[in-house]
Structure 1
Amino acid sequence: MQTFNLDNARKQSPNVQNAHFLKDTLMNQLLQSAKDISRILNDAGHTCYFAGGCVRDQLLKIEPKDYDLATSATPQQVLKLFPKADSIGAHFGVILVKYAGAAFEIATFRTDGSYTDSRRPESVTFATAEEDASRRDFTVNGLFQKSDTGEIIDFVNGKIDIEKKLIRAIGNPNERFTEDALRLMRAIRFATKLNFDIEEKTWEAIKTNAPLIKNIATERIQAEFSLILLSPRRARGLDLLVKSGLIQHFLPEILDLIGCEQPPQFHPEGDVYIHTSMMLDMLEGEVTLELVLAVLLHDIGKPATYSYDPDEDRIRFSGHDSLGAEMAETILKRLKYSNKTIDEVCAMVANHMNFMNVRFMKKSKVKRFMSRPTYELEMELHRVDCGSSNGITENYDFLRAKEEEFASEPLIPAPLISGKDLIGLGYRPGPQFKEILQAIQTEQLEGKLTESSQAIAWIKENY
């Protein structure tokens, strides 16, 4: 039985270039811990396999992020071997074992009773491994593996579907989705993450049962939706959500983007939905959830602000940025995102049209523009916004040049004077304080004032 000391690993890997060593060490320890748990159960006379996603990922040459185990041992027998384990899921045959600093779910082979809430069975019956596989969601997730030999136990033809790159429901797809409607979202997530197609009968069942998603808690829908958006193939995921009919039941505003025409001189790519989809596709590397949501919702206000000017033969969306920020707030609150996420996304949506003005701003305004917390995320939003439409990068290039120009000093330096200084000059605290301090900061950012004495002289002259 091995244990892992993270501090020791960090001492062996103090430099950034050795970060892969630390990751590999952690992953190896995770696998070894899972094998240790399996061995303990097997040595006690029980059958124990690796189960589900970790088996699938290994076959796809993907490093598993966690290991779930399935066993013939009952929850009570698991607890006897791991007395400090968490038994909170024992009613469903699941015990949470903490081992060598990591947590592992150990589930007893089972079959499920009837479902009445489209989410969880009313009861479970402990069963065989084959029966357990048949109650799981998709064939690619229904595989078991012997931890000691690596042998794959496949009762559902999951290996074949992995080779064919197919997401297929186990058994009757309509039954699988009516049992647990969250599987509707999970099917889209796995197809997006793995870049698999969805098998025809499974796809038809998703479309038929899409309204059932309304029975699922918003937090669970949001979690699956976020994982889809964080996938590099997020544009495909969005398209699957639209074509399946699922998006209609939790984010119907997206459907209004389809067919919403844009001025072809600025948006030759097509309607607002196509534009948004292209932007999602253009995002590079690891992105934040806030950025992806901002890209998704940046033009959400366009359908409601659409107008056509016959004199100029031009389509306009006046105020779509401010309305879009209001709509984004409503949507994200409805989906129960955090206040931080909502604030950042709405700031980006509200501000995304201001990039067209940056080359005409005073230096002080440019510095304030660049000092906002969401600036770097907005730069990426602006990059893909232009790249998916007119391809003009003048404003982006201008700001990157300004970053170099301003790099030698803080964008917003320490203030030259404070409210106490104003009181010392005989001013009474009030609304004028903010006005004066803002004016001084502007002159400072413009490079016209550099010392406190200059600021005080400027105040006496102007106020």
Structure 2
Amino acid sequence: MPAEFVKALPILQKIRNSGYEAYFVGGSVRDVLLHRQIHDVDIATSAYPAETKQIFEHTIDIGIAHGTVLVLADGDEYEVTTFRTEDVYVDYRRPSHVNFVRQLSEDLLRRDFTINAFALADDGQVIDLHGGIADLEAEILRAVGNPAERFNEDALRIMRGLRFAAVLNFDLESKTFASMKDHAHLLAKISIERIFIELDKLLTADYWHKGFRDLLAIEAYPYLPDFSDQTALARLLALPSDFKFTNSVQAWGYLAHQLGATDGKFLLKKWKVSREFSSAVSDFLTAYHKRQQGDFSPEDLYKLGKSSLTLVEELFAAQNLETNFEHISVLDSQLQIRSRQAIAVSAGQIMTAFGIQPGPQIGQLYHQIELEIVKGQLKNTPQEIFNYVKRNFERT
């Protein structure tokens, strides 16, 4: 067992010593079997929430209506969830009601894919009731039970399936693939924020080519904001199959470029991303368009940042276009300021020294000072700036 499981074993053992069943479940068990690094340690138990709270001294009700209790032990936190079944789903995403049960088999039946339907006991035994180990060995992604039922219950599982294909380099099992295609229209009913999370993980995965190709193949794209142009989307796959996006900004920026977006903000507004992320993607797009016209300038570096320029250059390299990473490094080393606040003299100091009144005149002058410093034509020192004002004030 990995260290994370070993550390959590006392939680399982304390539950079992109290007369209940308890197992590690979910993606962490899958990742252990695949020898991948695990992240969250999830525990499922036959104990009902009230019973779990009686077992442990320190708990927090974080999702008790759905059977989850947060157990605090030795400075760590563990989500302990009661075995459960789920009633009819509403809005193709959430169950109208959950029922607590005592049988692990009923709980595993509600999981999305066989490779996520494992349980691991404290003695190291893997409980696999749906052929998940065979699917891991065959590198196949298969829905648990009837795939139509799984995707009708929660249509977000379609995007999760595409993401798993991209992360694990697994193929979609034929019936699962067909059902994902049949139910792709249900994505229109799912929160765009949740879809963005899954698509973002897909695009930044090692095998994003596979996941994105599957997204096109199941015809999910018409149900995603501004993704109706299949030809434009397919151009993403012209990148080398071994190319990996450095980060989300690069992935979404290049995707927006293929879709013909000029600044990205209009597209991303529909995806309801943060303003910060939207601005970063827009900076990338601006940098990409400028790079298509020639080498970057000092002003480009100052306004858009070294990160945006480097991300663009990486994509140029992936397309076998001429690149000049050294030019970006030189521009960065020569840049005297990173923001207006770094200018050695404030606008107020200039107004006081030269008797300039507030208004457009000082704004234009200070902006010109900023540009001259960025271009390297004016040293960022008080003396040089005051000399510049003396020479140019009457002409502003």
Q: Give the alignment's TM-score, normalised by structure 2.
A: 0.89
- Aligned CA distance change for structure 1 residues 284 and 217 (closer, same or farther; 3 Å): closer
Q: Is the 8 A contact 1:54 1:67 kept in 2?
A: yes
Report the counterpart of residue 381 of structure 1 in structure 2: 312
2:203 to 229, 248, 265: 229
1:154-165 residue pairs with structure 2 within 5 A?
A: 154-165=128-139
Report the counterpart of residue 243 of structure 1 in structure 2: 217
Check if 1:458 corresponds to 2:387.
Answer: no
1:130-145 residue pairs with structure 2 within 5 A?
A: 130-145=105-120
Report the counterpart of residue 315 of structure 1 in structure 2: none
- The one-letter code matched in structure 2 to 1:324 is T
1:347 to 283, 302, 305: 283
1:268-347 residue pairs with structure 2 within 5 A?
A: 272-279=232-239, 284=244, 287-301=246-260, 323-325=261-263, 328-347=264-283
How far has the Cα of 1:373 moved from its partner? 4.9
Q: Is the 8 A contact 1:299 1:324 kept in 2?
A: no
Check if 1:371 corresponds to 2:292.
Answer: no
Q: Is the 8 A contact 2:369 2:385 kept in 1?
A: no
1-side partners of 2:371 and 2:30: how far apart?
58
How far has the Cα of 1:244 moved from its partner? 1.3
Check if 1:86 corresponds to 2:17.
Answer: no
- Aligned CA distance change for structure 1 residues 448 and 393 (closer, same or farther; 3 Å): closer
Report the counterpart of residue 167 of structure 2 in structure 1: 193
- 1:34-68 C-alpha deviation (Å, 9 max, x unpaired): 21110110111111111111111000001210111
Instruction: Tell me whether 77-86 or 370-379 shows the greater mean CA deviation.
Output: 370-379
- 1:393-429 C-alpha deviation (Å, 9 max, x unpaired): 25x443334445x27x556763456343234323222
How far has the Cα of 1:83 moved from its partner? 4.5
How far has the Cα of 1:107 moved from its partner? 1.8
Q: Give the alignment's TM-score, normalised by structure 1.
A: 0.77
How far has the Cα of 1:460 moved from its partner? 4.7
How far has the Cα of 1:445 moved from its partner? 4.3
1-side partners of 2:182 and 2:91: how far apart?
18
2-side partners of 1:109 and 1:70: how far apart?
6
Q: Is the 8 A contact 1:120 1:180 kept in 2?
A: yes
How far has the Cα of 1:75 moved from its partner? 1.3
How far has the Cα of 1:435 moved from its partner? 1.7
Report the counterpart of residue 20 of structure 2 in structure 1: 46
- 1:417-457 C-alpha deviation (Å, 9 max, x unpaired): 63432343232221121221232334444555442442233
Report the counterpart of residue 67 of structure 1 in structure 2: 41
- Aligned CA distance change for structure 1 residues 414 and 41 (closer, same or farther; 3 Å): same
- The one-letter code matched in structure 2 to 1:290 is V
2-side partners of 1:121 and 1:454: how far apart?
71
1-side partners of 2:241 and 2:351: how far apart?
52
- Aligned CA distance change for structure 1 residues 185 and 446 (closer, same or farther; 3 Å): closer
2-side partners of 1:449 and 1:59: how far apart?
61
Q: Is the 8 A contact 1:138 1:169 kept in 2?
A: yes
1-side partners of 2:109 and 2:376: how far apart?
72
Point out where structure 2 has 5 or more consecutive residues left out of the alignment. none
1-side partners of 2:287 and 2:273: how far apart?
20
1-side partners of 2:377 and 2:98: how far apart?
75
Q: Is the 8 A contact 1:33 1:99 kept in 2?
A: no
Instruction: Tell me whether 446-455 or 61-70 shows the greater mean CA deviation.
Output: 446-455
Give the secondary structure class of the aligned counterpart of 1:393: coil
1-side partners of 2:135 and 2:377: how far apart?
69
- The one-letter code matched in structure 1 to 2:213 is D
Report the counterpart of residue 113 of structure 1 in structure 2: 87
2-side partners of 1:398 and 1:52: how far apart?
48
Equivalent residue pairs, number: 388
Give the secondary structure class of the aligned counterpart of 2:183: helix
2:140 to 126, 143, 166: 166
Check if 1:256 corresponds to 2:256.
Answer: no
Q: Percent identity?
A: 28
Q: Is the 8 A contact 1:417 1:452 kept in 2?
A: no
Point out where structure 1 has 5 or more consecutive residues left out of the alignment. 1-26, 259-271, 302-322
CA RMSD of aligned residues (A): 2.5
How far has the Cα of 1:111 moved from its partner? 2.2
1-side partners of 2:376 and 2:224: how far apart?
50
2:367 to 438, 446, 450: 438
Report the counterpart of residue 321 of structure 2 in structure 1: 391
Q: Is the 8 A contact 1:279 1:295 kept in 2?
A: no
Q: Is the 8 A contact 1:417 1:455 kept in 2?
A: no
Give the secondary structure class of the aligned counterpart of 1:384: helix
Report the counterpart of residue 128 of structure 1 in structure 2: 103
How far has the Cα of 1:177 moved from its partner? 0.8
2-side partners of 1:399 and 1:249: how far apart?
39
2-side partners of 1:63 and 1:81: how far apart?
30
- Aligned CA distance change for structure 1 residues 124 and 257 (closer, same or farther; 3 Å): closer
2-side partners of 1:98 and 1:230: how far apart?
33
- The one-letter code matched in structure 1 to 2:266 is T
- Aligned CA distance change for structure 1 residues 449 and 206 (closer, same or farther; 3 Å): closer
1:146 to 88, 112, 121: 121
Report the counterpart of residue 5 of structure 1 in structure 2: none
- Aligned CA distance change for structure 1 residues 385 and 254 (closer, same or farther; 3 Å): farther
